[in-house]
A and B are shown apart, each in its own frame.
Chain A
Amino acid sequence: MIELDHIVKEYQGRRVVDDFSLTVPEGAFCVLLGTSGCGKSTTLRMINRLVPFDAGAIRIDGADVREVAPEILRRRIGYAIQSTGLFPHWTIEDNIGTVPRLLDWPRNRIRDRITELLQLFRLAPETYRQKYPHQLSGGEQQRVGVARALAADPDLLLMDEPFAAVDPVTRDALQAEMARIHQATGKTIVFVTHDIAEALRLATVIAVMDRGRLAQWGTPLEILESPANDFVAGFVGGEASGVQLLALRTVAERLRAGEGAEGEPLSADATLRDALAAMMARHTDRLPVVDGHGQPLGAITLADLIR
Chain B
Amino acid sequence: MNWTRRVASPVLWVAVLFFVLMLGMPQTAPLFEHAFPQVAPPVFDRDSFFALWLSHAGMVLVASGAASLVGIGLAIFVTRPAGDDFRGLVGTLATIGQTFPPAAVLALAVPALGFGPRPTIVALFIYGLLPVIENAIAGLDGVPAAVRDAARGMGLSAWQILRDVDLPLAAPLILAGVRVSVTIAIGTATIGSTVGALTLGTPIFDGLAADKVPFVLQGAVLVALFAILTDMLFGRLENWLRPPGLARAA
Chain B residues with Cβ under 8 A from A82's Cβ?
Answer: 146
Chain A residues with Cβ under 8 A from B165's Cβ?
Answer: 87
A75 to B160, CA, bound (A): 13
**B247: nearest residue on chain A (CB-CB)?**
A134
Q: Is the CB of B149 within 8 A of A102?
A: no
Nearest CB of chain B from residue A52's CB, rounded to whole Å: 13
Q: Is the CB of A102 within 8 A of B147?
A: no
- Given A50-B152, A74-B152, A79-B154, do A89 and B146 touch, yes or no (CB 8 Å)? no
Q: Is the CB of A50 within 8 A of B245?
A: no
Chain B residues with Cβ under 8 A from A48's Cβ?
Answer: 153
Chain A residues with Cβ under 8 A from B244's Cβ?
Answer: 89, 132
Q: Is the CB of B146 within 8 A of A102?
A: no
Q: Is the CB of B150 within 8 A of A89?
A: no
Contact of B156 among A90, A102, A132 (CB under 8 A): A102
Chain A residues with Cβ under 8 A from B150's Cβ?
Answer: 79, 81, 84-87, 145
Q: Is the CB of B146 within 8 A of A88?
A: no
Nearest CB of chain B from residue A264's CB, rounded to whole Å: 47
Q: Is the CB of B243 within 8 A of A98?
A: no
Interface residues of B in 137-163 (CB under 8 A from A): 144, 146-157, 160
Q: Is the CB of B154 within 8 A of A88?
A: no
SS class of chain B's interface: helix, strand, loop or mixed? Answer: helix
Nearest CB of chain A from residue B217's CB, rounded to whole Å: 46
- Given A81-B146, A83-B146, A85-B149, do A91 and B245 touch, yes or no (CB 8 Å)? yes
- Interface residue B65 (Cβ < 8 Å from any Cβ of A): no
- Given A88-B243, A88-B246, A134-B247, do A71 and B153 touch, yes or no (CB 8 Å)? no
The total of chain A residues at the interface (CB under 8 A) is 31
Nearest CB of chain B from residue A213's CB, rounded to whole Å: 25
Contact of A133 among B152, B168, B245 (CB under 8 A): B245
Contact of B147 among A85, A132, A149, A158 (CB under 8 A): A85
Q: Is the CB of B155 within 8 A of A71?
A: yes
**A88: nearest residue on chain B (CB-CB)?**
B245
- Interface residue A73 (Cβ < 8 Å from any Cβ of B): yes
- Interface residue A9 (Cβ < 8 Å from any Cβ of B): no
Q: Is the CB of A75 within 8 A of B155?
A: yes
Nearest CB of chain B from residue A261's CB, rounded to whole Å: 53
Interface residues of B in 143-189 (CB under 8 A from A): 144, 146-157, 160, 164-165, 168-169
The total of chain B residues at the interface (CB under 8 A) is 23
Chain A residues with Cβ under 8 A from B169's Cβ?
Answer: 88-89
Q: Is the CB of A102 within 8 A of B154?
A: yes
- Interface residue A72 (Cβ < 8 Å from any Cβ of B): yes
Chain B residues with Cβ under 8 A from A74's Cβ?
Answer: 152-155
Nearest CB of chain B from residue A46's CB, rounded to whole Å: 12
Q: Is the CB of B152 within 8 A of A89?
A: no
A90 to B244, CA, bound (A): 8
Q: Is the CB of A81 within 8 A of B154?
A: no
- Interface residue A203 (Cβ < 8 Å from any Cβ of B): no
Q: Is the CB of A102 within 8 A of B155?
A: yes
Nearest CB of chain A from residue B125's CB, rounded to whole Å: 31
Interface residues of B in 13-58 (CB under 8 A from A): none
Chain A residues with Cβ under 8 A from B155's Cβ?
Answer: 70-75, 99, 102
Chain A residues with Cβ under 8 A from B245's Cβ?
Answer: 87-91, 132-134
Q: Is the CB of A79 within 8 A of B147?
A: no
Q: Is the CB of B246 within 8 A of A89?
A: yes
- Given A85-B146, A85-B149, A87-B147, do A75 and B154 touch, yes or no (CB 8 Å)? yes
- CB-CB contacts of B207-235 with A at 8 A, as 1s and 0s? 00000000000000000000000000000
**A103: nearest residue on chain B (CB-CB)?**
B155
Interface centre among A89, A90, A134 (most CB of B within 10 A): A89
Q: Is the CB of B246 within 8 A of A148?
A: no
**B160: nearest residue on chain A (CB-CB)?**
A102
Chain B residues with Cβ under 8 A from A75's Cβ?
Answer: 154-155
Chain A residues with Cβ under 8 A from B144's Cβ?
Answer: 83, 85, 88
Q: Is the CB of B151 within 8 A of A87?
A: yes
A83 to B154, CA, bound (A): 15
> Could you pull out 27 A-B pairs where Cβ atoms are within 8 angstroms?
A45-B153, A48-B153, A74-B153, A74-B155, A75-B155, A79-B150, A79-B153, A81-B149, A81-B150, A84-B146, A84-B150, A85-B146, A86-B147, A87-B147, A87-B150, A87-B165, A87-B245, A88-B144, A89-B245, A90-B245, A91-B245, A98-B156, A102-B154, A102-B155, A102-B156, A134-B245, A148-B154
5 nearest A-B residue pairs (beta carbon) = A85-B150, A89-B243, A74-B155, A79-B153, A75-B155
Which B residues fall within an 8 A CB radius of A? 144, 146-157, 160, 164-165, 168-169, 243-247
* Seed contacts A74-B155, A75-B154; 4 additional CB < 8 Å A-B pairs: A85-B144, A85-B147, A88-B169, A102-B154
